Amino acid sequence: EKEPVRYANLMYDRRVVRGNTYALQAIPVSTQPSPLEIQRQREARKRALARKRAKEQMQPRTPEPVEGREHIHVQTELYLEEISDRIIEVDTECQTDAFLDRPPTPLFIPAKTGKDVATQIEEGELFDFDVEVKPILEVLIGKTVEQALLEVMEEEELAQLWAHQRAYAELRNAELAEVQRLEEQDRRYREEKERRKLQHMQMLQKQKETTEKIAARAFAQRYLADLIPSVFNNLRESGFFYDPIERDIETEFLPWLMTEVEETLERKVLGRTMLDSLICTVVEKRLDAFSHKPLSDQTEAPAEEPRPTDAARQVAGETEAADQPVAEKEETDQLVAEEQPSRRISFQLEESDQAGTEDLETE
């Protein structure tokens, strides 16, 4: 991908050298950029484009023109500028010297001065090793022996320290064991004391509970002494406690007895009503019978001799007179016969009433 040529100010071009050139960084021979630089430039370009698009989206835009019209640019500045289709072009040139790439600075090597001179030294001329090494060996041996003695003394001191530590540890362990034994004994004493106190508190609590129970039982007995009979009396009065025989008599026998008594009384009332109606009927008939007046010709006897017609009438009157006592006798017999059943019924009713009253009295 070919990048477009970008024109910029020469003062900021990296290829233009300004100032001292001694500390100038060496520009690589190849002008080809590295892939990392190319990747970095592409990412920077993408970020710039994304930022530009976001900025354009954030800016308010002019609404789209209606159909058949288009938007044109209008100058809103204070001073108007001439608008022309031809762009003003100006050609400008700048000549710079061509600089070659500076080679790396060579290593500085100072120039050689003076003359070369050599000296011959024979063996044993400078020093004798056996003689010269003796003080060095004495020092080394002395230092070694001294260090050994120091180390031995340190070991002995460490051994004494360890022995002292062991004795101290044994004494400390013994004291700790004694302390633990005393603490354990104290703990056992304390636990035993707490257990005894707890037992004593439990015993007091049980005694208190027993005393309260006895007091409550005595109070309950004293309170229930009058309460239980009253409760039973109320329950007995309310009907919770009853005699089965009495209950059977009240629920079965007495209703049956009352029904029978009512039926008996109804029969008595019915008999009395019938008797009253019979008596009323008989009295009315007798009243009708005695209310008829006797004929005048029957009461007064004629002085003349009876004519045949009169004789016949007399005979008829005699027969009627003879029949009248017979009729009256028949009526009286009928009344007596009617009164006898009524008396019998009334007698039976009175007997039944007496029996019912006797039964009620016996009950």
Q: Examine residue 117 and state whether it is found in any structural domain, yes or no.
A: no
Q: Examine residue 279 and state whether it is found in any structural domain, yes or no.
A: yes
34-38, 131-135, 291-295 — most confident range:
131-135
Q: Examine residue 82 and state whether it is found in any structural domain, yes or no.
A: no
What is the model's pLDDT at position 326? Answer: 41
What is the model's pLDDT at position 212? Answer: 93
What is the model's pLDDT at position 360? Answer: 43
What is the share, in percent, of the chain residues with pLDDT greater than 90? 33
What is the model's pLDDT at position 2? Answer: 55
Mean pLDDT for 58-69 is 82
Give residue 241's region: left, alpha or beta (phi > 0; psi -120 to 50): beta
Residue-wise DSSP of 268-312: HHHHHHHHHHHHHHHHHHHHHHHHSPPPHHHHSPPSSPPPHHHHH
Q: Examine residue 260 and state whether it is found in any structural domain, yes or no.
A: yes
- Is 80 exceeded by the pLDDT of residue 206? yes
- Is 70 exceeded by the pLDDT of residue 48? yes
Locate all alpha helices (DSSP H) within the chain, ordered by sequence.
35-58, 129-238, 244-248, 254-291, 296-299, 308-362
The span from the first CA to the last CA of the chain, in angstroms, equals 139
Calculate the CA dihedral of residues 158, 159, 160, 161 and round it to 10 degrees: 50
Q: How far apart are CA 38 and CA 268, in angstroms?
A: 142
What is the model's pLDDT at position 350? Answer: 53
Q: Are 271 and 346 in contact (CB under 8 A)?
A: yes
Q: Are 289 and 331 in contact (CB under 8 A)?
A: yes
Task: DSSP letter for 117, please.
Answer: -
Half-sphere exposure in the Cβ direction for 243 (13 Å, CA):
4
What is the model's pLDDT at position 329? Answer: 45
Distances (CA, A) of 22 to 18, 19, 31, 106: 11, 9, 22, 13
What is the model's pLDDT at position 6? Answer: 60
Q: Examine residue 254 and state whether it is found in any structural domain, yes or no.
A: yes
Q: Exposure pattern of 16-42 as b/e (b: 16+ CB <10 Å)?
A: eeeeeeeeeeeeeeeeeeeeeeeeeee
Q: What is the extent of the structural domain holding 266?
A: 242-288
User: pLDDT band at 127, cuts 50/70/90?
Assistant: confident
Give residue 19's region: left, alpha or beta (phi > 0; psi -120 to 50): left
Q: Examine residue 352 and state whether it is found in any structural domain, yes or no.
A: no
What is the model's pLDDT at position 160? Answer: 94
- pLDDT tens profile 65-106: 888 888 887 778 887 777 777 777 888 887 776 666 777 888
What is the model's pLDDT at position 299? Answer: 47
> What is the total count of domains within the chain?
1
Which one has a higher pLDDT value, 228 or 187? 187
- pLDDT tens profile 222-269: 887 887 788 888 887 887 777 788 888 888 888 999 999 999 999 999
- pLDDT tens profile 12-37: 777 777 776 666 555 554 556 678 88
Q: Examine residue 105 and state whether it is found in any structural domain, yes or no.
A: no
- Is 70 exceeded by the pLDDT of residue 205? yes
Q: Examine residue 126 and state whether it is found in any structural domain, yes or no.
A: no
User: pLDDT band at 270, cuts 50/70/90?
Assistant: very high
Q: How far apart are CA 244 and CA 250, in angstroms?
A: 10
Question: What is the crossing angle of helices 308-362 and 254-291, to 10°?
Answer: 160
- pLDDT tens profile 279-291: 999 999 988 888 8
User: pLDDT band at 45, cuts 50/70/90?
Assistant: very high
- pLDDT tens profile 302-360: 444 444 444 444 434 444 444 444 444 444 455 444 445 445 544 554 555 555 455 54
Q: Are 335 and 343 in contact (CB under 8 A)?
A: no
Q: How far is CA 188 from the centre of its chain?
A: 49
